Amino acid sequence: MAKPLTDGERRKQISVRGLAGLGDVAEVRKSFNRHLHFTLVKDRNVATRRDYYLALAHTVRDHLVGRWIRTQQRYYERDPKRIYYLSLEFYMGRTLQNTMVNLGLQNACDEAIYQLGLDLEELEEIEEDAGLGNGGLGRLAACFLDSMATLGLAAYGYGIRYEFGIFNQKIVNGWQVEEADDWLRYGNPWEKARPEYMLPVHFYGRVEHSPEGVRWLDTQVVLAMPYDTPVPGYKNDTVNTMRLWSAKAPNDFKLHDFNVGGYIEAVLDRNLAENISRVLYPNDNFFEGKELRLKQEYFVVAATLQDIIRRFKSSKFGCRDPVRTSFETFPDKVAIQLNDTHPALAIPELMRILVDVEKVDWDKAWEITKKTCAYTNHTVLPEALERWPVSMFEKLLPRHLDIIYAINQRHLDHVAALFPGDVDRLRRMSVIEEGDCKRINMAHLCVIGSHAVNGVARIHSEIVRQSVFKDFYELEPQKFQNKTNGITPRRWLLLCNPGLAETIVERIGEGFLTDLSQLKKLLPLVGDEALIRDVAQVKQENKVKFSAFLEKQYGVKVNPSSMFDVHVKRIHEYKRQLLNCLHVVTLYNRIKKDPTQAFVPRTVMIGGKAAPGYHMAKKIIKLVTSIGNIVNHDPIVGDRLKVIFLENYRVSLAEKVIPAADLSQQISTAGTEASGTGNMKFMLNGALTIGTMDGANVEMAEEAGAENLFIFGLRVEDVEALDRKGYNAHEYYDRLPELRQAVDQINGGFFSPREPDCFKDVVNMLLNHDRFKVFADYEAYVACQARVDQLYRNPKEWTKKVIRNIACSGKFSSDRTITEYAHDIWGCDHRSTVGISSCS
């Protein structure tokens, strides 16, 4: 049962959560009861909590529908340039609260649900996360959709409706165990199937050249069924669309292959076609060259391009007859953004449609394709680059292989003309990598076939230019740009941290929610006693709330007055959770050595998923849980140090832990994290950052002043110098007694007494083949952590730094990022005041 709000709480909620007018509340109640009755076919006697959630979801969705239809109608009538964001991942999380926030309905719903004797927060917890992403890349796509709608851009997100998203992580005996994420089990109230727009996608077959042109024949067909999800802008009446494709077998699937009597087998075999959209590949920053994955990549691209061209050809609302016949204006009306190389096949597929189907001549088609497509690079790790075997293409997409060869030939001819005799340059720049197994380098295809290529933080874009695509940059320097990532302040402040949002609104108004640079107005108030008190109080309330959540969910008791030291992201060697572990063990040893000394109490929280096939990442999780087992049960340590592994880290858990964090760990080896976005979320929510000069940390330090972050460790130049010299982990092991002690304990089974050899391979990696130089940064890291402790002992100075960080986080709004994409890449002059962007 919800607690009634005090007058003070009501007053605090009023401004940003929307006014709860009596009429609105009555309307919500009426709608809720109607959906319970007519949609869910239940009454209050038999309805479950999930029924109540679904009734509320349908009630809120009703408020979207009119705006959704009107927005799309407006796009048809005004025919603006349309932005197509193609991504294999959209990590959306939950939708209910986000929709209420963006529609200004939160208070009305809160009051109505309370009057019905229910608790809004409890209902929100019932919704499954839409976990259609692995981490940063997928969550970035979701933030971008929110910003594009808020800026009034005519934008569409296109991806796959995976039946099973990122696995649910269970920890069993300290090890990660994966469970299927059956997120659609109870239905999804936010999506609308659109069978009338179902489209065919072709695979396999053969290519036939004739005087009339090229034909791709004898293909297998899979149908792509679209499911549309509304994407509301923040209080601006714009509702855009995310369209996700689901694979369906055609009704005659396999039936012609079977003899009489094979009918049952033919129907059962429909699963083979429909497996395409069954499951998200759970790899982050790693390429696994599986045929099913290549099918997924072509499936989304082929369906989406048909849709784009249909929409381009018909400009008036509701008309499906083609009116445009010339593709001359295509790049003026269509922008396609490729979120990493996963949708790279859009380039040869657009060429195939233009040349084979629409009979545009090659050079014109290539010009159109390049002007239309743009590519965002997300990683510099070589193991993450997509390199598909030519043999797989030959079988699955024979026409696309032809087209890629033709693109490459023209490209290499151009390079050879500019650099005569430089055969090594030709080899380096080819889309086709020769060798035992010929491969197609998808990144090279993207760079050649796009008019713009961008990295996702300044330092990353520099590495892209100077190293990853150096040859291509020398060829076409004007192509390369930077677009530093951002996060949506609606979900990552207003929704997840209403207390902090309200504290800010009281000082500077609510304009910052759509123009985050306005947070700068807090700078003159850094020393304001009342603000310092309020910010510290909100943080403490968030910590108490999260502590209660931990106890309820996992039965773990933590001390809410300890420092909440948080390290949440995918588990990967380059993100260096092992460095954090070494610090924890070092702290433990210091407490054990001198228990009488005054220590700043810490609760270290580490969370994240490991790819199921990534042995080392799974070992790292086991190490964290094992250290926790020893540290947390040591009576001498007491509550001065606790180590918690946050199970099943996902968007909805991030929304709880980030507002409660004091310290944010962003400690990747310099030059490995393209940007990071978790770093920005922590900064905006009043945590201080301990981090290396990597990714967007560099720009965070620039915005807030490096003295307001805890920066340590090797810079990119130092890492390069160490590589030239040769990194020798043993030097550090021999020189640093605390490091040696920690490593020996891990190696000797101190933290795994039942399996003394459990972590031998981890230590062996750290000592003999650690690509990410954990030991090289250990000393600086531990010293930096001591500075963290020192500042934490002075709560007022700590909070002043927090306020300074919040005030300087404005750059990291995805609204700013998208405004830059629109202006510099898509050729759009967004004017959100008009409610629709005008594109030049």
478 Cα distance to chain centroid: 28
Cα–Cα distance for residue pair 564/601, rounded to 1 Å:
9
Catalytic residue among 58, 295, 491, 575: 575
The string of DSSP letters for 543-602 reads HHHHHHHHHHHH-----TTSEEEEEES---GGGTHHHHHHHHHHHHHHHHH-TTS----E
Q: Give SS3 for 709.
A: coil
CA distances to 404, 408, 448 from 417, rounded to whole Å, are: 20, 14, 16
How many residues comprise the chain? 840
Catalytic residue among 677, 689, 692, 819, which?
677
DSSP 300-363: HHHHHHHHHHHHHH--STT--S------TTHHHHEEEEEESSTTTTHHHHHHHIIIIIS---HH
Question: How many angstroms separate the CA atoms of 673 and 573, rounded?
Answer: 11
Three-class DSSP category at 165: coil
Q: Can you tell me the distance from the alpha carbon of 201 to that of 566, in angstroms, rounded to the nearest whole number?
A: 45
- C-alpha 87/C-alpha 11 separation (Å) is 42
CB 308 within 8 A of CB 84: yes
**Catalytic, out of 311, 411, 539, 569:** 569
Cα(836)–Cα(236) distance, integer angstroms = 10
- Annotated active-site residue 570? The verdict is yes
Is 575 designated active site?
Answer: yes
What is d(CA 2, CA 117) in angstroms, rounded to the nearest whole number? Answer: 7
Contacts of 659 (CB under 8 A, 6+ apart): 496, 497, 499, 500, 539, 542, 546, 685, 686
> How crowded is the C-beta side of 734, counted as CA atoms within 13 Å?
4
Catalytic residue among 681, 801, 804, 811: 681
Best CA proximity match to 99, nearest among 136, 68, 141: 68
Q: Which of 570, 619, 773, 830 is catalytic?
A: 570
Does residue 521 carry a catalytic annotation?
no
Active-site annotation holds for 619 = no
User: What is d(CA 529, CA 799) in angstroms, rounded to the nearest whole number?
Assistant: 10
Residue 782's closest CA among 733, 731, 738? 738
Quote the CA–CA distance of 157 and 240 in Å, as a whole number. Answer: 9
Per-residue tokens: 707: 């003295």
Cα distance between residue 390 and residue 832, in whole Å: 46
Q: Tell me the C-alpha to C-alpha distance, in Å, between residue 436 and each of 113, 390, 391, 431.
A: 65, 11, 11, 16
Is 378 an annotated catalytic residue?
Answer: yes
Where is 266: in which H helix or E strand? helix 263-268
Closest CA to 529 of 745, 272, 799, 718: 799
Contact yes or no for 779/671 (Cβ under 8 A) = no
What type of residue sits at position 197?
A: Y
- CB neighbour list of residue 157: distance below 8 Å, 6 or more residues apart: 85, 87, 90, 141, 144, 145, 231, 240, 241, 242, 243
The CA distance from 105 to 25, in Å, is 9
- Report how far residue 655's alpha carbon sits from residue 96's, in angstroms, rounded to the nearest whole number: 14
> In this structure, what token pair is assigned to residue 619?
């070992």
Catalytic residue among 254, 333, 378, 411: 378
The catalytic residue positions are 378, 569-570, 575, 677, 681
